[in-house]
Structure 1
């Protein structure tokens, strides 16, 4: 499961980085179950359309910034956990650091619980 977990987490991160609306929506539909839920301290998005709108809003809030996995993707049964960073290209330090736990259904994400470990003061 570890290799597949890493591939799924990479696809998840790619969906947060994709700025082309059609490609992003395709990534979201390939990565998340149709009625998936994404929850973090600032949003509770249910379904592909709401998740897509959430990603677009974050991209608008942090233009040019990129998400990246930060370390190993840990997995067991149908659950993943991983840390990620959001940073401007070439930055020495990430602007935002987060930690996500995702439950899976048939190889796609059913639910994400997002936690923010480092957040800029402007949020």
Structure 2
């Protein structure tokens, strides 16, 4: 497995980790300290911002899980990948998104997120 694929898998794991201490360890391993994250619903900076965003999404969609929806495409210090958020046992994902991550020394420095499918109540 490539280092970039492993990094993005850990990125997805960070969005699934519900234990605050284990999530923080993942965040500090995956993201650069001054990371920026921007999608249509959020714009945050730093480890605290990422942590708060993940906790908020988990609060909105309790029990749901993120998963990669295909391969990670990467070159230079860029990675792009599609992901989905699903409830356990559901065949159809509730949310589908596409992220482009800028990498720096093996960590995610900046994320540009796009939402392809969003529930009507979001």
Instruction: Please confirm whether the aligned pair reaches a TM-score higher than 0.5, indicating the same fold.
Output: yes
Unaligned runs of 5+ residues in structure 2 are none
| 1:41-97 C-alpha deviation (Å, 9 max, x unpaired) | 011010000110000000000000000000000000000000000000110100000
1:33-112 alignment, distance < 5 Å: 33-112=32-111
User: Alpha-carbon deviation of 1:14?
Assistant: 0.1
Does the CA contact (< 8 Å) of 1:5 and 1:74 recur in 2? no
CA RMSD between the two structures: 0.8
1:20-31 alignment, distance < 5 Å: 20-31=19-30
2:7 alignment counterpart: 8
Q: TM-score, normalised by structure 1?
A: 0.98
Q: SS of the residue aligned with 2:71?
A: coil
Distance 2:23 2:49 in 1: 13
Number of aligned residue pairs: 122
User: Alpha-carbon deviation of 1:4?
Assistant: 1.2
Q: SS of the residue aligned with 2:43?
A: strand
Q: TM-score, normalised by structure 2?
A: 0.98
Distance 1:88 1:9 in 2: 21
Q: SS of the residue aligned with 1:115?
A: strand
Does the CA contact (< 8 Å) of 1:28 and 1:48 recur in 2? yes
